[in-house]
Amino acid sequence: MTTTPYSTPYAEEHDLFRKTVRDFAEKELAPHVDEWEEAKIFPRSVFERAGELGILGAHYSEDVGGAGGDFWFAVVASEELPRCNAAGVTMGLLVQAAMATPAIADLATDEQKKEFLEPAIRGEKIAALGVSEPGAGSDVAGLRTTAIVDGDDYVINGSKTYITNGTQADFVTLMVKTNPDAGHNGISILLCPTDVKGFAVSKKLEKLGNWSSDTAELFFEDVRIPRRYLLGKEGMGFMYLMQNFQSERVVGCTSGLAGAKMALDRSVQWGRERQAFGKPLIKREYWQQKLVDLYAKYEAAHALTYRAAEAYNNEKHVKKSPISMETTRLISMAKAYVGDVTGEIMDECLQFHGGMGYLEELWVARAWRDARLLRIGGGTTEVMRYATARIMGF
């Protein structure tokens, strides 16, 4: 049941979980994705069903409603969800399971977990991660949304953009400046419900790809939330987020590579059937060499990503320690390399299909569009290389 022919970190319970996620993606999601792509959103019922199947919390502890599994369960989910054939659906579910909620699992009080994490794992509340702003994307330290203490409340003012699940979210794991004069030491994380006065979805954003994922610009005007919604310690948000980003980047890599492998396999099958100048296109020497190179790059990217995932799992789930700079280096390198490799694979797969590949009716056009985000979201390729260079002392 595993996705690779060589030794993997998976046990029988991972393989059973893989079948559950694969069946969900292929049988329950894939038949509807064309409709959701056209609507530019997928329904809340998808989160609820994923929660029922245990897909949103398999790697979280049993005391909050998870399955008590390790990080490899999150990897499995990220590799199988792309079988639905719409990266927007995959992204929305992974934001819920592995991007907006890890910090809650790590830092929240029991009361916060009951109010936010447990219903998110069940799929009853939709979560979003509020980091990027119109003037601060990968440069997290430059964010300007503030949360100023007023009695027993924080008063939030500002905006967030590029927020996945933004139009449907019941709460946002929100990065704010609680001390605007303290640089990155003035950043904190709040859990902000969206049913509060002063919160608004100011715009639903139209994107190049990932159409079925709703993406929004959020607006906060004198939003009051109780101080008990502070996650962890005030002023530690930047450090918390740097830890949180690591799981996001790993599952971004594994889901992106899963989509790239599907594209390669489907392209090879198409090349066997497509006749060009009297013989199957796959028999043309140019494309044989090109596809071999692409498979080799996939294998290299996959190996690097799994090395990073293993390091992350060992520190996070085995040692239960903070993520080290060495593991961060591996993850940053993987994020940069995988983004480039998946982009090249998708571009060549589209080229392989010729004029048909340029038509919206063929799967490869959507796959090509969707894959472009990996070099931007969760930290741009350039920022990943810069971060790696700093860690390596360049």
Last residue of a domain, one of 198, 231, 264: 231
CA-closest candidate to residue 306, choices 345, 334, 264: 334
- Split at pLDDT 50, 70, 90, the class of 5 is very low
- Split at pLDDT 50, 70, 90, the class of 135 is confident
pLDDT computed for residue 7 by the predictor: 60
Q: Do 285 and 315 reside in the same domain of the chain?
A: yes
CA atoms within a 13 Å half-sphere pointing along the CA-CB vector of 15: 9
Percent of the chain, pLDDT > 70? 97
* Beta carbons within 10 angstroms of residue 124's beta carbon: 13
Classify residue 5: in a domain, yes or no: no
Q: Do 212 and 292 reside in the same domain of the chain?
A: no
Q: Is 144 exposed, middle or buried (0-12, 13-18, 19+ CB in 10 A)?
A: middle
Classify residue 4: in a domain, yes or no: no
Q: Do 26 and 116 reside in the same domain of the chain?
A: yes
pLDDT computed for residue 3 by the predictor: 47
Residue 76 predicted with pLDDT over 60: yes
Domain count, the chain: 3
pLDDT tens per residue, range 271-327: 999 988 889 999 999 999 999 999 999 999 999 999 999 999 999 999 999 999 999
* Beta carbons within 10 angstroms of residue 151's beta carbon: 8
For residue 72, report the phi and psi dihedrals to the nearest 5 degrees. -65, -20
pLDDT computed for residue 277 by the predictor: 85
Catalogue the active-site residues. Answer: 248
Beta-carbon contacts of 355 under 8 Å, excluding residues fewer than 6 positions away, are none
Strand positions, DSSP E, the chain? 127-130, 146-150, 153-164, 171-177, 187-193, 199-204, 215-226, 230-231, 275-276, 279-280
Residue 354 predicted with pLDDT over 60: yes
CATH number at 336 reads 1.20.140.10
Q: Do 76 and 95 reside in the same domain of the chain?
A: yes
CA-closest candidate to residue 370, choices 37, 32, 10: 37
Dihedral angle, C-alpha 277, 281, 283, 289, nearest 10 °: 120
pTM of the model: 0.94
Classify residue 3: in a domain, yes or no: no
Distances in Å between the alpha carbon of 30 and those of 26, 80, 232, 368? 5, 12, 39, 18
Q: Do 244 and 273 reside in the same domain of the chain?
A: yes
Q: Which domain holds residue 211?
A: 128-231
Beta-carbon contacts of 46 under 8 Å, excluding residues fewer than 6 positions away, are 29, 89, 92, 93
pLDDT computed for residue 71 by the predictor: 96
Mean pLDDT of the 99-123 span: 97
pLDDT tens per residue, range 10-56: 999 999 999 999 999 999 999 999 999 999 999 999 999 999 999 99
| CA gap 183, 164 in Å, rounded | 26
- Split at pLDDT 50, 70, 90, the class of 183 is confident
* Beta carbons within 10 angstroms of residue 111's beta carbon: 10
- Split at pLDDT 50, 70, 90, the class of 181 is confident
Classify residue 50: in a domain, yes or no: yes
CB 81 within 8 A of CB 22: no
CA-closest candidate to residue 370, choices 341, 346, 354: 346
Angle at the Cα of 170 from the Cα atoms of 39 and 221, rounded to 5 degrees: 100
Residue 108 predicted with pLDDT over 70: yes
CB 181 within 8 A of CB 195: no
- Split at pLDDT 50, 70, 90, the class of 144 is very high
Last residue of a domain, one of 204, 231, 258: 231
pLDDT computed for residue 8 by the predictor: 75
Last residue of a domain, one of 201, 231, 261: 231
| CA gap 385, 329 in Å, rounded | 9
Q: Do 120 and 135 reside in the same domain of the chain?
A: no
Q: Do 148 and 282 reside in the same domain of the chain?
A: no
Question: Helix 87-98 to helix 44-52 angle, to the nearest 10 degrees?
Answer: 60
CA-closest candidate to residue 59, choices 12, 23, 17: 17
Q: Do 382 and 270 reside in the same domain of the chain?
A: yes
- What 3-state class would DSSP assign to 3? coil
Q: Do 305 and 190 reside in the same domain of the chain?
A: no
Mean pLDDT of the 207-222 span: 97
Q: Do 217 and 248 reside in the same domain of the chain?
A: no
CATH number at 94 reads 1.10.540.10
Mean pLDDT of the 56-72 span: 96
CB 53 within 8 A of CB 122: no
Classify residue 119: in a domain, yes or no: yes
pLDDT computed for residue 220 by the predictor: 98
Q: Do 265 and 209 reside in the same domain of the chain?
A: no
Classify residue 377: in a domain, yes or no: yes
Q: Do 294 and 157 reside in the same domain of the chain?
A: no
